[in-house]
Structure 1
Amino acid sequence: MSPSSAPLDHPFDAPPAPGELIQIAPGLLWARFALPFRLDHVNVYFLQTDDGWLIVDTGIDNSETREAWRTMLSGAMRGERIAGLIVTHHHPDHIGLAGWLCETLNIPLLTSRTGFLSTTTFFNSPELLAASAYSDFFISHGMSDELAALVSVQGHQYMRMLSKPPFTYRRLSAGDRLQAGARHFDILSGDGHCPEQLMFYAAEDNILLAADQVIEKISPNISVMAFEPDGNPLGDFIGSLQRLIRDIPEDALVLAGHRLPFVGLHQRCRELIAHHGYRCDQIRDEAAMRPVSAADLLPVMFPQTLSPHEMSFAFSEVLAHMNSLAADGELVWQIDTAGHRRLAAP
């Protein structure tokens, strides 16, 4: 079974209730917004600056989340000036309401170039998500035609939960510094879960806003996308975790995009590395017996019943492990005359 370690330290044993805020430190607040998925929430943070508060992430765009924001702004944040919106990455649970919030509050969007351009593309060209390349991609890895059609359309509805993004943004890049009042954050970037995902580290307070790169108890999704079928996001993710171990102290307070704040960064990074190592071992064991497709491996790695939304993430995560093993030369791709791909021992 997948490896586990000792429990992490959780300075806050419960999240904020809907519409409420918890003070993490002076000038740093934590809120939580609901999501309509198995992972049923996203964490949002507020950073105080000399000009007002910076919001960090937004939740998806739906009527319930817009109303939750109205409640927050007229309740716990009533009378407070909002100076801007930071978005850590382009997944809709983090950037979905960026356009609406920026327009409603007349504030700028601060994010990575990848985050801005990806969101603009997905919003303005939603037909890309239903392109035949997606279903062909799933079919080539062993999925039935019927299931591929379902997953490539319904499985990507999540990526449409976006308000119209702003036309302009302010770029944040790894290596920059963000000043929030007396607090300075070094800007970091991690890949694997999402390209150029932003993180923020305040050395004076030893606080890391980790977005979805490091989360307690759950592993962020690591997916191969149809538009980059030979990508190695798992290799990128492991490299990002190793840099966090190298650059950020073990006892930093980690504020992630989901679940609870925790202390024990290096332990959690090593747990995630071990988790993916275990997943790769599963594939090695199966491929030692016969060439295997992603469809063959899906019930091995994800034996639970999956919705189309969950199926698209699970299938793409299986591929991330397969591509990593192929990139390392441990296993090789076999492609038949019909274009179906299987991984086999060399």
Structure 2
Amino acid sequence: MADGGIILDDQTLDIPSEPVSARGLTYPLGASPEPGQAIEAAPGVLWLRMPLPMALNHVNVYAIDDGEGWTIIDTGLRTPDTIQAWEAALAGPLGGRPVTRVIATHMHPDHIGLAGWLAERFDAPFLMTRLEYVTARMLIADTGPAPESGARFFHAAGWEDARIEKWRASYGLFAKGVAPMPPSYMRLSEGDVLSIAGHDWSILIGDGHSPEHACLWRKSDNVLISGDQLLPKISSNVSVWPTEPMADPLDDWMASLDKLEQTLPAGTFCLPGHGEPFMGVLPRVQALRRGHEVALKRLERTLRTPSRAVDVFPALFARPVGDGLFGMATGEAIAHLHYLERRGRAQRTPDALGVDWWTLTQKETGA
């Protein structure tokens, strides 16, 4: 999800790390569910998969048996295909039982797109962290025109005028992928415990990919519903956007990885927002951290020559960046540059046209 509401595949610009076979992960469930179907991922937890109209063609959602009905975790994007899949799931594997609660891990459209639709249909309470809820409401309302501060932000990153004009024209699309949000919500906070059919689920909060991402952890059998805070095969996007142009989200992300590593037992079974449920959360956390550390080292080598944010893509990403992913790649590049800048390892120098040129600091070059 790009700033200003451009809906993008926000999970496919992978920061390279080890090959999958070397990550120490196992996938015990085998085949993935078809849209409208479900697989029992853990006792009382059904795994459903909703279609996405993009390169990353699915999002995982989960239904937790709540006695008389179901607690739903994430919902998919608001599209006719997703609504059709939900209708089939509600009548089929969910057995016609009502939705008793809707929980969103975070505010990206593929996770909250039908939250309002489900909550209204079943008169069900909606649960989310405060920063995710208010950010979603802000982006839904922000339909344009595109702010000049955003144009200056992308110009400073090295965007050409034609690309900025395309950004202006597509500004404010967030709401198109999201049904009207519930007008009220119940706040989730770090350390909260939700009782679902007599089982306790603890709330773990992460940061970096989104502002206050909630994971649900059933400590009794070490089941973690991780949303996008921990994915098995791809790295979640960590970006700076024009709404908070001086942010350091990579520091937030690395701190969240440290927290997961220190909190979760080695035998935790992870139910992620994309990909397949897996065992091996600690090797995966370590691989994600190493991937960013290696990318930062490559970035430092690149900055021996003055570079704009758009010039450093090859140092960070595993594949070429096309037009559809350019905004996300820019945000992630700036996040890595800010991380180095905050640590005195890189510096920016605006030129006369307002474009930022990044270089290593003198102490890093040995000058």
If the length of structure 2 is used for normalisation, what is the TM-score? 0.89
Contact persistence 2:141–2:175 (CA under 8 A): no
Match of 1:271 in 2: 287
1:143–1:237 Cα change, 3 Å: same
Deviations 1:294-322, CA, capped at 9 Å, x for gaps: 11112443474544431111111111111
SS in 2 for 1:127: coil
Match of 2:354 in 1: 339
Contact persistence 1:158–1:309 (CA under 8 A): no
Match of 2:7 in 1: none
Contact persistence 1:102–1:109 (CA under 8 A): yes
1:280–1:159 Cα change, 3 Å: farther
Match of 2:343 in 1: 328
Query: Which runs of 5 or more structure 1 residues have no equivalent in the other structure?
Result: none
SS in 2 for 1:83: strand
Deviations 1:4-31, CA, capped at 9 Å, x for gaps: 1344111112211111111122211110
Shift of 1:158: 5.3
SS in 1 for 2:120: helix
Contact persistence 1:156–1:312 (CA under 8 A): no
The 10-residue stretch of structure 1 (222-231 or 291-300) with the greater mean CA deviation from structure 2: 291-300
Match of 2:214 in 1: 198
Match of 1:229 in 2: 245
Shift of 1:183: 1.4
Pick aligned residue for 2:110 from 93, 98, 119: 93
Match of 1:297 in 2: 312
- CA distance, structure 1, for counterparts of residue 212 and residue 90 of structure 2: 29
1:21-36 equivalent positions in 2, closer than 5 A:
21-36=38-53
1:155–1:309 Cα change, 3 Å: farther
The one-letter amino acid paired with 1:257 is G
SS in 2 for 1:266: helix
Question: Is structure 2 residue 111 aligned with structure 1 residue 81?
Answer: no
SS in 1 for 2:289: helix
- CA distance, structure 2, for counterparts of residue 258 and residue 324 of structure 1: 26
- CA distance, structure 2, for counterparts of residue 114 and residue 2 of structure 1: 30
SS in 2 for 1:70: helix
SS in 2 for 1:205: coil
- CA distance, structure 1, for counterparts of residue 141 and residue 112 of structure 2: 15
1:295–1:44 Cα change, 3 Å: same
Query: Which runs of 5 or more structure 2 residues have no equivalent in the other structure?
Result: 1-14, 362-367
Contact persistence 2:207–2:213 (CA under 8 A): yes
- CA distance, structure 1, for counterparts of residue 262 and residue 299 of structure 2: 29
Relative CO higher for 1 or 2, CA cutoff 8 Å, sep ≥ 6? 2
Count of equivalent residues: 344
The one-letter amino acid paired with 2:184 is T
Question: Is structure 2 residue 184 aligned with structure 1 residue 142?
Answer: no
Pick aligned residue for 2:265 from 246, 249, 272: 249
Contact persistence 1:91–1:159 (CA under 8 A): no
Pick aligned residue for 1:217 from 209, 222, 233: 233
RMSD: 1.8
The one-letter amino acid paired with 2:231 is I
Shift of 1:97: 1.0
Q: Which ranges of 4 or more aligned residues in structure 1 deviate by more than 6 Å?
A: none
Contact persistence 1:23–1:29 (CA under 8 A): yes
- CA distance, structure 2, for counterparts of residue 48 and residue 303 of structure 1: 40
- CA distance, structure 2, for counterparts of residue 189 and residue 19 of structure 1: 29
Match of 1:111 in 2: 128
1:208–1:74 Cα change, 3 Å: same
Match of 2:202 in 1: 186
1:3–1:63 Cα change, 3 Å: closer
The 10-residue stretch of structure 1 (301-310 or 260-269) with the greater mean CA deviation from structure 2: 301-310
The one-letter amino acid paired with 1:125 is D
Pick aligned residue for 1:316 from 311, 314, 331: 331
The one-letter amino acid paired with 1:249 is P
If the length of structure 1 is used for normalisation, what is the TM-score? 0.94
1:33–1:332 Cα change, 3 Å: same
The one-letter amino acid paired with 2:39 is I
1:13–1:154 Cα change, 3 Å: farther
